[in-house]
């Protein structure tokens, strides 16, 4: 099938080359790019003093990603590691992080509303967002603004859905390994009331054994303006995922072994996830130049999966529901400044159960310390409150300054529904000194943090500027770090992680080119680690520094080259010999160099093609820095043909050179090298119809 699609694409390109070319491609005008992630209201990217990168709707439609990694890794500072199916691990100015701290280090949102409650994150939560139908995806690198608090530590990803309008679009796609996908957008315009449905569904058998995926997403968005001047816009997003999960393939350079590449060591593994979010944004401009915005929302998430990576392979079932609100007020001053003040509040109920169906296999120690039956069963009530203030002052035509301050408090009320301690679920003791899993007694915990921001910008002229930023981010301990204990630990004496960030950025543009150079230094303290006794402790400090380069240049009216490249150095700042950590060592899964380069060719007014080069540098896979992955280069080709005003055809050929590589390389003391293996050469053909 791949060969047929390759031949078809060549034939299409050959047929159209004889036609005259007339369309232009070029860098986007930075003043025309609208973002909402920094202050929760629409602003020109050129007016924002922040490290923000944007994927536009046009780019997203051209990429037509089957996994959000394919799109987001085009942005500076972003390195999302694709695991199996729809799973992923995020890195933004950071190593690829794992465990509870991985999701807690990044705020992932849709319409500015976090996908998960603070303290209840999941490393794979990005699949709860309807990125397939987004109008744009915005990424803030480094700590979030004063409008966002805990979890916006290393960065923030915000999916923005399109405004409703009168339209009807349908897209159908077919690919290898029984892959099918359908997207539909249906919108209605009734004057002062507009609404639109955004739906996507996909099914694939998976390219590895027992790794099929079925996923559905539905969003509804609306806008309504009342006669009294109130503007209402909101909607909901509902997602469902049923996935057969492929585990790590073990063995040195197993990604090069044809007898191992398509195998799945964990055919029993699965992941079922359902989520729902509903929101309404109520805004009004008052007579005294104030604009007020009030956004109540509800959230519900239900996740069930086998922890195939643990001895005994217990099943985890975690659930949480939230009721929250975001309030912000904005006042444009007469002295070229504006002031914003607001308050965020959220109440969450969460629960977690872990149950092991079968006896543990393996050594006598594992069989004695990991019993069959229930390991955890607890509930947590959480409450979050955060007032904030933001001030922007345009001193003159060249200088401007922004100040922000956020205070946030998060409280947990934990209730253990089982026996306290490290016993079996019937109270019997385990051998070898106790069971692995420990259930602390009922308790309450609260954390409060202050997060300041300062930004200064100088415009050399209308095309070039320099920006400096100093800010602090934080994340509170996640509920699993506090209450899902091991090794006999009865209390996790943890504190919030803090990150101090310093940035200097230069950027500029003209009619034919644009550039951005950003240097950063970040110092992170109170890092939460699991020690050799499996206790959660405040174990390390780390530093993160690097340079992010991005740019685009129009070679001709129809040929554009662009790219991003990242130089980074992530190191441990304290010894932790029990974990193999030495001061000065590179943090594992933290490449020093990686990037993405594109050539866009508008062949004719109706045919365009894009060649993408994805470069991943080498990185260590263990904290001792004794094992490493050599990196890879992957090439992708995407071609689009607008047959007429209503019909377009697209062809995506991924991994054109059929590179044998690993999406993620890892190393463990008990198993050695292991990999999530990159997919081979594959092609997807799609057709899109616009009804009106």
Instruction: List, in sequence order, every residue forming a beta bridge with 382; answer none if it has no partner.
Output: 348, 412
* DSSP track, 251-285: STTGGG-TTTTT--S-TT-EEEEEEEEEEEEEEEE
How far is Cα 503 from Cα 49, in angstroms, rounded to an integer? 11
pLDDT at site 668: 86
pLDDT at site 393: 93
Domains annotated for the chain, with CATH where assigned, are 2-690 (2.40.170.20)
* DSSP track, 564-581: EEEEEEEEE-S-BGGGTB
How far is Cα 449 from Cα 520, in angstroms, rounded to an integer? 23
How far is Cα 494 from Cα 482, in angstroms, rounded to an integer? 8
pLDDT at site 20: 33
pLDDT at site 577: 63
pLDDT at site 100: 65
pTM of the model: 0.93
How far is Cα 373 from Cα 537, in angstroms, rounded to an integer? 27
How far is Cα 65 from Cα 72, in angstroms, rounded to an integer? 10
Instruction: List, in sequence order, every residue forming a beta bridge with 353; answer none if it has no partner.
Output: 317, 377
Q: Which residues of 345-379 are buried (b: 16+ CB within 10 A; e: fewer)?
A: ebebbbbbbbebeeebeeeeeebbbbbbebbbbbb
Note whether 304 and 332 are within 8 A (CB): no
Note whether 389 and 343 are within 8 A (CB): no
pLDDT at site 348: 98
Note whether 304 and 316 are within 8 A (CB): yes
Residues 6+ apart with CB under 8 A from 201: 181, 182, 215, 216, 217
3-class SS string, 490-525: CCCCCCCEEEEEEEEEEEEECCCEEEEEEEEEEEEE
Q: Which two tokens stand for residue 168?
A: 């009807």
pLDDT at site 103: 79
End-to-end Cα distance, the chain: 33
Task: Return the closest-CA partner of residue 171 out of 67, 69, 64, 71.
Answer: 64
Cα 43 to Cα 31, 36, 38, 262, 632: the distances in Å are 9, 6, 9, 47, 38
How far is Cα 221 from Cα 135, in angstroms, rounded to an integer? 12
Q: If phi over 0 gives left and psi between -120 and 50 gives alpha, with beta otherwise, what is residue 501?
A: beta
Cα 149 to Cα 119, 214, 408: the distances in Å are 12, 34, 7
pLDDT at site 8: 44
How far is Cα 79 from Cα 96, in angstroms, rounded to an integer? 8
Phi, psi of 59 (to 5 degrees): -65, -45
Cα 7 to Cα 13, 394, 469, 575: the distances in Å are 10, 57, 51, 56
How far is Cα 341 from Cα 304, in angstroms, rounded to an integer? 39
Block means of pLDDT (10 residues each) for the chain, 692 residues, are 42 36 50 79 82 93 94 96 91 87 86 94 92 95 88 92 96 96 96 96 94 97 93 97 93 93 93 97 90 97 93 95 96 88 97 96 93 96 97 93 96 97 94 91 95 95 94 92 89 90 94 94 86 64 95 95 97 76 88 97 96 97 92 98 95 97 90 93 96 78
**Helix H or strand E segment including 311:** none
pLDDT at site 618: 97
Q: Which two tokens stand for residue 124?
A: 């794979």
């Amino acid at each position: 099938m791949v060969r047929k699609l390759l031949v078809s694409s060549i034939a299409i390109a050959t047929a159209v080359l004889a036609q005259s070319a007339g369309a232009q491609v070029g860098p986007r005008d930075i003043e025309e790019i609208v973002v909402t992630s920094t202050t929760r209201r629409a602003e020109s990217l050129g007016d924002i003093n922040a490290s923000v990168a944007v994927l536009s709707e046009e780019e997203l439609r051209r990429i037509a990603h089957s996994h959000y990694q394919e799109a987001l890794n085009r942005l500076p500072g972003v390195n999302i590691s694709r695991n199996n199916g729809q799973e992923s691990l995020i890195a933004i100015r950071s190593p690829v992080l794992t465990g509870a701290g991985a999701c807690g280090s990044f705020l992932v949102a849709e319409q500015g509303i976090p996908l998960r409650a603070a303290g209840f994150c999941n490393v794979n939560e990005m699949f709860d967002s309807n990125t397939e139908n987004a109008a744009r995806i915005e990424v803030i690198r480094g700590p979030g603004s004063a409008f966002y608090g805990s979890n916006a530590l290393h960065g923030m990803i915000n999916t923005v859905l399109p405004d409703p309008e009168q339209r009807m679009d349908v897209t159908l796609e077919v690919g290898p390994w029984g892959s099918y996908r359908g997207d539909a957008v249906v919108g209605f315009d009734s004057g002062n009331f507009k609404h639109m449905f955004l739906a996507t569904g996909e099914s694939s058998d998976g390219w590895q054994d027992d790794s099929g995926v079925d996923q559905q997403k539905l969003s509804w968005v609306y806008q309504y303006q009342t006669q009294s001047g109130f503007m209402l816009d909101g909607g909901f997003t509902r997602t469902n995922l049923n996935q057969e999960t492929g585990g790590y393939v073990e063995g040195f350079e197993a990604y090069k072994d044809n007898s191992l590449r398509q195998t799945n060591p964990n055919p029993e593994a699965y992941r079922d996830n359902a989520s729902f979010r509903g929101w309404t944004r109520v805004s009004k401009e008052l007579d005294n130049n104030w604009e007020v915005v009030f956004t109540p929302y509800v959230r519900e998430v239900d996740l069930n999966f086998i922890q195939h990576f643990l001895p005994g392979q217990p099943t985890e079932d975690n659930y949480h529901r939230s009721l929250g609100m975001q309030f912000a007020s904005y006042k444009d001053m007469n002295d070229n400044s504006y002031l914003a003040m607001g308050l965020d509040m959220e109440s969450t109920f969460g629960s977690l159960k872990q149950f092991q169906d079968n006896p543990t296999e393996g050594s006598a120690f594992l069989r004695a310390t990991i019993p069959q039956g229930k390991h955890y069963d607890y509930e947590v009530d959480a409450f979050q409150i955060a007032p904030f203030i933001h001030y922007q002052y345009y001193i003159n035509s060249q200088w401007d300054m922004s100040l922000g301050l956020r205070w946030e408090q998060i409280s947990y009320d934990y209730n253990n529904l089982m026996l306290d301690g490290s016993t079996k679920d019937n109270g019997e003791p385990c051998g070898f000194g106790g069971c692995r899993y420990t259930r602390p007694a009922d308790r309450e915990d609260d954390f409060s943090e202050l997060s300041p921001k300062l930004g200064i910008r100088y415009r050399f002229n209308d095309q070039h500027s320099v920006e400096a930023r100093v800010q602090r981010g934080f994340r509170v301990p996640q509920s699993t770090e506090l209450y899902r204990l091991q090794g006999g630990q009865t209390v996790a004496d943890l504190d919030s992680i803090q990150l101090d960030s310093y940035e200097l950025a230069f950027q500029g543009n003209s009619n034919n080119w644009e550039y951005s150079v950003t240097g950063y230094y970040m110092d992170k303290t109170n890092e939460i680690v699991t020690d050799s006794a499996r206790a959660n402790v405040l174990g390390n400090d780390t530093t993160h520094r690097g340079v992010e380069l991005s740019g685009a240049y129009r070679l001709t009216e129809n040929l554009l080259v662009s790219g991003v490249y990242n130089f980074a150095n992530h190191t441990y700042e304290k010894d932790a010999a029990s974990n193999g950590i030495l001061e000065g060592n590179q943090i594992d899964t933290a490449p020093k160099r990686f990037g993405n380069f594109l050539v866009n060719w508008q062949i004719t007014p109706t045919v365009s093609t894009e060649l993408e080069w994805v470069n991943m540098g080498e990185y260590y896979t263990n904290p001792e820095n004794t094992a490493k992955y050599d990196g890879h280069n992957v090439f992708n080709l995407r071609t689009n043909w607008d047959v007429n005003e209503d019909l377009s055809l697209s062809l995506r050929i991924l991994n054109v050179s059929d590179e044998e590589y690993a999406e993620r390389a890892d190393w463990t003391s008990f198993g050695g090298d292991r990999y999530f293996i990159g997919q081979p050469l594959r092609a997807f053909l799609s057709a899109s119809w616009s009804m009106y």
